[in-house]
Structures are given as structure tokens and as C-alpha cells.
């Protein structure tokens, strides 16, 4: 299922069915009657989502002394960017570039490894590929918390402690199970006939992977990219435990440290939260279709 | 396949290693020293562990009810196709983009008694802190589960609703007789992800309450973090971690079985 088609009405398969009332009307009718209750519910949820975000934005634009006397729900009377200046002057760029490095590296590793794995899992049927696939299914249920102590041992023994690699490698490993599942879901949809046609033309397995499977699995791949990037960008546990100095510090850990650094300067703290969310929000605006459609549509049949 | 090895090295091997370390005493320096069942004995006798386990179960159950009910209703609602739904769904998704750290900090500020929206010391009372964590978890993850349900609801054949309408079934009847049963695999998927996920509400606890007041929000992962990376008792931390792995995997398997879906394959099909 291609994500591009999601928001548009799906072609009515039931069109040739003469049953009254016609499909289009029927759906409308069905949702219309639900409107009072579910419409109200969705508006309430909208408030729950928007109010904290609004309070955060408004407070981050308020000077510290005003913030303590006013209510964060009031719009700022004299908006100021001072808080953002404070944050940007306290090494925020360094945190940002570290996080970007981690995200790019994680995406590269995850993609480089899980595309071939998914391809093999779909195309070959022997004991080993089945076993490997099951291993990844199991992986979905492993909480990262549960393995940080032994990982700490491994990282220390590999001499990686307090480096960006110490964050990148485990993060990538934990992003793999979901990526493989998503990709297997998409690659399964590629018709067997297409492979056979290519095989008849004398194409090698590599060629089939690069010229057939990957182009057709674009939706799944973009989902995996965004999902892995999101995980890398937002990861907290691995940086917390595997790094300690300023050098390899990433954004989430930086935010955590701001609590003590800014103390009661809550507006500055909130400004740093806003800043940390901007890059990922920008990606979301550009790639919303791919992200949402991918998460929703993959294997959805 | 190097990919499988890579994953095994960083995820599966550590799991076995965690189990091994739970039979040792290790302070993070030098080498682990075998101590047999000491850590496990300590685990069984530890009052904090009992409290923590109970708290974790309670938190998971409360999160499940809160998130599943809202996500299911929102998801089914969002599966419709009017324009405002698309816009609202896009807004609903925003919390999921923020990191747990950022969200914990946001609510740390908003719940601050001197600064926040509600000028009461919510995090200072144990039920308040507990409910705050349930709420914040929901705020963050309901968007994701909504999306899963939205996807599931779109897959339900239109024909079923037409047939039900002809039989004179009303809107609520349709919801309970068609939508819910058709979404049962989606519920399984979402529940497994949710249960495993809520075992890891670690950032929120660390930032918001540090396990407090007292030890009233010290869920298992937090207890493990304290034992390991604060008290440097890595053997004991590994025992807690092993327990966590067994509980999480066991729970997922039970859930999958109970809901009549013989294999974990549902995880893929629901997504």
C-alpha cells in the first residue's frame, strides 16, 4: 500500500455493487452520526495536546522575573528572545552537531544492515533466515533498560566509553528490529512475478535488490529512515550511561544538564526544549506523509 | 550476515551477559566476581523491589487503560476522511516527535509549584506524582497508538458497515460489533508495544521525580539504574534487569497468546 494514497479517498471497490445506499454516502452518514460525541472528544484532546505546547512557547518568550509572577497561560506581554540567546550561548551548537552526527550514523548503519536482512528474509526460505527473522521479532520486546549494564561492560572493554560511537552502535542495534519488520512488510508486497521476470533476463540477486526491491520499497525505507533518526535524536539512556564528558554530549543529555545549570530559570529551560524540537519538527513538516503513512500503512492488510 | 551479528552483539549477547552478571558482584571497575545466588536472594528479600514491582504493574495497567481507550477512539475517529481530521491528526502527532527528556522537562516546568499552570505541589504527593507520570506517558505515546488504530480502522472493509446498516445496526452497535472485533489484532500490537514501552518510563521518572516522593515512583528500571549507576552494585542491577527481561518477554508472549494470535507476526501486521 502506497502511503501517497492514504489521505485521499480510497477507490471504492464496491462501486459495481448496486446495493443502496452507495458506498460514499454510507461512510459519510456513518461518520456524521458519530460527530457530536467523537467531535467533542477530539476537541478536548486537541486542548490537552496544544495547551502545554502553547504554554511552553509563551513562557520561553517571557523574561524570568515576569514568568514567576504571571501565569504561563497568559500571552507574554513583552516577548523577548533573551532566553534563546542564553541557551544558544551555552554550547547548544555543539550539542546539536553531536546529535546530528549520531542521527546520520545511526540511519546509515540501520539502513545498510536492515535492507539486506529484510531482503534475504523475504527471498530465501531456509532455517537460518527464519531463525534470524525470529531473533528480530524477539528484539522488539527487549527493553533497552534491561541490557544497559552488560552493554556498559562491553563498551568499556571495547574502549569506546565516553565517545560518540558508544552512543551510535547500541542505538543502531536497538533500531534494527522494528526496521527489519517494517522492511519485510514492504518487501513482501513486491510481486514474485517481477523477480521471476528479472531472473529470466539474467539479473543477479544484487541487481534485483538494487534495481527492483529497493525502488519499490521506497515507502518502507523512508519510514525506517525517519524512525531511526527519531530514535537517535531523542535517545537518552545510552548517552546518559555511556558518556560523561562534554565532548560527546548530545542534545537530550544537554537538556537534562540544563536543569541544574539554569536552576530556576525555567523560561531558559523551556527555550532549550523548544530549540531541541525544532529540527525534528522541520523534518516532520517535510516528511509527514512518509512518516505517518509508513507507520500506518506498512503490512496493513 | 553481518547485520544479524551486529544486532546479536549489541542486543542479544548483552541479554545473556546480564543474566551472567546477576550471579556476580561487580562495581564497574576490575572484573566481575561470581557470588552465586546472592543477588537473587537479595532481590527476593528487598522491600523496595516488592514496592517497585507493584508500582510498575500499576503504572503499566493505568497507562494501558488511559492510552488504549483514548487512542482507540481517536484512531477510529481519525480514520474518517474529512479535511479537519487530517489537520487535527497532524497536530495530535506533535508530542510524539519530542524526546521523552524534552517532554519530562516541559512538564517539570508546567508542574512547578512556583511557576506552573497548577500552583500546587503535585509531584510532592505520591498519588499526584504517579498520575502525572501516567498522564505524561499518555501525552507522549497516545499519538503513536492513535496512528496504529487509524491504520487498523482504515483496513476494515466498508461492506461490513453497509451490511450492518441494512440490518438496522446503529452507530454504537456498529462500533462494538464490527469496529472493535475487527481491530483485535491491532489492539494486540498496540498493547504489546505499550506494555514493553511503559516498562521503560525511565526518563520521565528520572527527571520529574527521581523516584520520589520517597520511593513512591521508583519503578523497576529506575531501581535498576540506582542500584547500578548510583550505588555501583552492577551485580544486583543485573538481577533486576534479568527480571525485567523475563517479565517483559513473558508478558508479551502471554498477551499474544491470550488474544488468540499464535505468533508475534501480529506485531508486523498491525503496524
Subunit contact A154:B174, Cβ cutoff 8 A: no
Q: Which three cell numbers stand for residue B114?
A: 512556583
* Chain A residues whose beta carbon lies within 8 Å of the beta carbon of residue B199: 143, 145
pLDDT: is A292 or B260 the higher one?
A: A292
Looking at the partner chain, which of A46, A181, A276 has a beta carbon nearest the beta carbon of B102? A276
List C-alpha distances in Å: A14 to A86, B7, B58.
60, 45, 46
Weakest mean pLDDT among A7-11, A54-58, A224-228, A279-283: A7-11
Cell of B127: 498519588
Q: Do residue B267 and residue A72 have CB atoms under 8 angstroms apart? A: no
Q: Which residues of A touch B113 (CB under 8 A)?
A: none
pLDDT, mean of residues A67-71: 68
Residue A25 has pLDDT above 50, yes or no: no
Which grid cell is B56?
A: 510498575
Compare all CA atoms of chain B with the CA of A130 and give the residue at the minimum distance: B4
The answer to whether the CB of B162 falls within 8 A of the CB of A23 is yes
| Number of other CB atoms surrounding residue A273 within 10 Å | 25
- Separate counts of helices (H) and strands (E) for chain A: 15, 0
Cβ distance of B200 and A137 shorter than 8 Å? no
DSSP class per residue in B91-144:
HHTHHHHS-HHHHHHHHHHHT-TTTSSS-S-GGGSHHHHHHHHHHHHHHHHHHH
- Is the pLDDT score of A299 beyond 80? no
Confidence check: pLDDT of B118 > 80: no
Q: Mutate which of B14, B222, B244 to disrupt the A interface (most A C-beta within 10 Å)?
A: B14
Residue B37 pLDDT > 50? yes
Nearest CA in chain A to B18: A150
Is the CB of residue A184 less than 8 Å away from at least one CB of chain B?
Answer: yes
Residue A62, chain B, CB below 8 Å: the answer is no
| Whether the predicted pLDDT of A28 surpasses 50 | no
pTM: 0.82
- Out of B159, B162, B224, name the one closest to residue A145 (CB): B224
Q: What is the rounded CA–CA span in Å between residue A193 and residue A216? A: 14
Q: Which residue has the higher pLDDT, B212 or A234?
A: A234
Higher-confidence residue of A124 and B60: namely B60
The ipTM of this complex is 0.83
Residue B72 has pLDDT above 80, yes or no: yes
Min Cα distance A202 → chain B (Å) is 25
* pLDDT surpassing 60 at residue A260: yes
Does the pLDDT value for residue A133 go beyond 90?
no
Given a contact cutoff of 8 angstroms between Cβ atoms, the answer to whether B133 and B217 are in contact is yes
In this prediction, residue A265 has a pLDDT band, given cuts at 50, 70 and 90, of confident
Tell me the average pLDDT across B113-128: 78
Interface test with A, best of B2, B83, B86, B106 (most A CBs within 10 A): B106
Whole-angstrom distance, CA of residue B251 vs CA of residue B271: 20
Q: What confidence category does residue B154 fall into, taking pLDDT thresholds of 50, 70 and 90?
A: confident
The x, y and z cell numbers of residue A125, run together, are 526460505
More reliable by pLDDT, A70 or A24: A70
Cβ-based contacts under 8 A for chains A and B: 308
pLDDT at A169: 92
User: Strands B33-34 and B24-25: what pairing?
Assistant: antiparallel
Q: Please, which pLDDT band fits residue A295 given cuts at 50, 70 and 90?
A: low
Q: Which phi and psi angles does B25 have, rounded to 5°?
A: -115, 125
From CA B39, how far away is CA A30, in angstroms rounded? 59
Residue B250, all three cell numbers: 513473558
A141 → closest Cβ in B6, B196, B225: B196
Mutate to test the interface with A, among B24, B30, B104, B158 (most CBs of A within 10 A): B158
Model pLDDT, residue A17: 44
Residues of A in contact with B267 (CB under 8 A): 137, 140, 181
A207/A119 Cα distance (integer angstroms): 12
Is pLDDT at A36 greater than 70 in this prediction?
A: no
> What per-residue confidence (pLDDT) applies to A296?
61
**Residue B139 is placed in which grid cell?**
501525552
Contact A300 B11 (CB under 8 A): no
Verify whether the Cβ–Cβ distance A264 to B114 is below 8 Å.
Answer: yes
Is A176 in contact with B4 (CB distance < 8 Å)? no
Q: What is the dihedral of CA A168, A172, A173, A175, to 10 degrees?
A: 140
How many whole angstroms separate alpha carbon B205 and alpha carbon A257? 15
Inter-chain residue contact A42 with B88, CB threshold 8 Å: yes
Q: Which of B13, B18, B110 is nearest residue A146 as measured by Cβ atoms? A: B18
Query: What pLDDT score was predicted for residue B258?
Result: 65
Q: Residue A35's pLDDT is what?
A: 58
Give the least confident one: A141-145, A277-281, B219-223, B236-240. A141-145
pLDDT in tens, A201-238: 877 777 777 777 777 777 788 888 888 888 899 899 99
Decide if A300 and B271 are in contact by the 8 Å CB cutoff: yes
- In this prediction, residue A293 carries a pLDDT of 67
The widest CA-to-CA distance across chain A, in whole angstroms, is 76
* Nearest in space to A171 (alpha carbons), one of A220, A63, A99: A99
Question: For the residues A253-261, what does the mean pLDDT come to?
Answer: 84
Q: Which of A81-95, A97-111, A252-266, B211-225 has the lowest mean pLDDT?
A: A252-266
Confidence category of residue A22, pLDDT binned at 50, 70, 90 = very low
Predicted local distance difference test score (pLDDT) of residue B13: 78
* Sign of the alpha-carbon dihedral angle for A262, A264, A266, A267: negative
Beta-carbon contacts of B190 under 8 Å, excluding residues fewer than 6 positions away, are: B68, B71, B145, B148, B149, B270
Residue B34's DSSP bridge partners are B24
Report the range of poorest mean pLDDT among A95-104, A168-177, B114-123, B193-202: B114-123
Top pLDDT among A120 and B258 is at A120
What's the rounded Cα separation, in Å, for the pair B221 and B244? 8
In A, minimum Cα distance to B14 occurs at A150
Q: Which residues contact B66 (CB under 8 A, 6 or more apart)?
A: B134, B135, B137, B138
For the residues B120-148, what does the mean pLDDT come to?
89
Per DSSP, chain B holds a count of helices (H) and strands (E) of: 16, 2
Burial (CB count <10 Å: 0-12, 13-18, 19+), residue B167: exposed
Strand partners, B24: B34
Secondary structure letter of residue B208 according to DSSP: H
Amino acid at each position: 500500500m502506497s502511503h501517497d494514497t492514504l489521505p485521499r479517498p480510497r477507490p471504492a471497490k464496491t462501486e459495481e455493487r448496486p446495493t443502496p445506499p452507495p458506498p460514499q454516502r454510507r461512510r459519510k452518514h456513518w461518520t456524521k452520526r458519530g460527530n457530536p460525541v467523537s467531535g467533542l472528544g477530539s476537541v478536548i484532546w486537541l486542548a490537552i495536546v496544544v495547551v502545554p505546547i502553547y504554554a511552553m512557547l509563551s513562557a520561553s518568550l517571557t523574561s524570568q522575573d515576569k514568568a514567576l509572577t504571571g501565569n504561563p497561560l497568559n500571552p507574554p506581554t513583552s516577548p523577548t528572545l533573551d532566553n534563546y540567546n542564553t541557551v544558544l550561548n551555552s554550547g547548544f551548537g555543539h550539542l546539536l552537531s553531536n546529535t546530528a552526527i549520531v542521527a546520520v550514523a545511526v540511519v546509515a548503519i540501520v539502513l545498510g544492515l536492515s535492507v539486506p536482512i529484510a531482503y534475504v528474509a523475504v527471498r530465501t526460505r531456509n532455517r537460518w533466515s527464519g531463525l534470524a527473522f525470529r531473533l528480530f521479532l524477539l528484539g522488539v520486546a527487549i527493553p533497552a533498560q534491561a541490557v544497559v549494564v552488560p552493554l556498559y561492560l562491553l563498551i568499556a572493554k571495547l574502549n569506546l566509553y565516553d565517545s560518540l560511537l558508544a552512543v551510535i552502535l547500541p542505538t543502531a542495534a536497538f533500531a534494527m528490529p522494528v526496521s527489519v519488520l517494517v522492511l519485510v512488510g514492504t518487501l513482501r508486497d513486491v510481486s514474485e512475478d517481477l523477480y521471476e521476470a528479472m531472473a529470466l533476463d539474467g539479473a543477479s540477486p544484487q541487481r534485483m535488490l538494487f534495481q527492483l526491491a529497493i525502488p519499490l520499497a521506497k515507502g518502507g525505507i523512508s519510514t525506517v529512515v525517519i524512525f531511526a533518526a527519531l530514535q537517535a535524536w531523542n535517545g537518552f539512556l545510552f548517552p546518559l550511561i555511556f558518556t560523561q564528558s562534554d565532548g560527546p554530549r548530545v542534545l537530550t543529555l544537554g537538556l537534562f544538564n540544563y536543569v541544574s545549570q539554569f536552576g530556576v530559570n525555567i523560561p531558559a529551560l523551556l527555550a532549550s526544549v523548544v530549540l531541541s524540537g525544532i529540527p525534528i519538527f522541520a523534518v516532520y513538516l517535510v516528511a509527514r506523509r512518509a512518516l505517518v503513512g509508513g507507520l500506518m500503512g506498512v503490512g496493513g492488510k | 550476515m553481518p547485520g544479524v551479528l551486529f544486532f546479536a552483539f549489541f542486543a542479544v549477547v548483552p541479554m545473556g551477559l546480564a543474566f551472567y552478571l546477576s550471579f556476580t558482584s561487580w562495581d564497574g571497575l576490575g572484573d566481575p566476581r561470581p557470588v552465586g545466588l546472592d543477588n537473587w536472594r537479595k532481590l527476593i528479600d528487598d522491600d523496595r523491589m516488592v514496592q517497585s514491582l507493584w508500582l510498575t504493574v500499576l503504572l503499566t495497567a493505568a497507562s494501558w487503560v488511559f492510552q488504549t481507550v483514548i487512542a482507540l477512539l481517536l484512531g477510529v475517529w481519525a480514520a474518517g476522511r474529512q479535511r479537519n481530521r487530517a489537520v487535527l491528526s497532524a497536530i495530535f502527532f506533535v508530542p510524539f516527535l519530542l524526546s521523552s527528556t524534552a517532554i519530562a522537562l516541559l512538564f517539570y516546568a508546567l508542574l512547578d509549584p512556583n511557576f506552573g499552570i497548577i500552583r500546587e505541589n503535585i509531584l510532592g504527593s505520591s498519588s499526584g506524582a504517579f498520575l502525572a507520570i501516567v498522564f505524561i506517558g499518555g501525552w507522549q505515546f497516545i499519538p503513536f497508538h492513535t496512528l496504529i488504530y487509524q491504520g487498523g480502522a482504515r483496513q476494515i472493509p466498508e461492506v461490513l458497515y453497509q451490511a450492518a446498516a441494512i440490518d438496522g445496526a446503529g452507530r454504537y452497535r456498529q462500533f462494538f460489533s464490527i469496529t472493535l472485533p475487527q481491530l483485535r489484532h491491532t489492539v494486540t500490537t498496540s498493547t504489546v508495544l505499550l506494555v514493553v514501552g511503559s516498562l521503560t518510563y525511565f526518563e520521565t521518572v528520572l527527571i520529574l521525580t527521581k523516584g520520589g516522593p520517597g520511593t513512591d515512583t521508583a519503578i523497576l528500571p529506575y531501581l535498576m539504574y540506582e542500584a547500578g549507576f548510583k550505588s555501583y552494585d552492577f551485580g544486583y542491577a543485573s538481577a533486576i534487569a534479568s527480571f525485567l527481561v523475563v517479565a517483559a518477554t513473558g508478558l508479551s508472549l502471554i498477551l499474544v497468546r491470550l488474544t488468540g494470535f499464535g505468533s508475534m507476526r501480529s506485531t508486523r501486521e498491525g503496524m
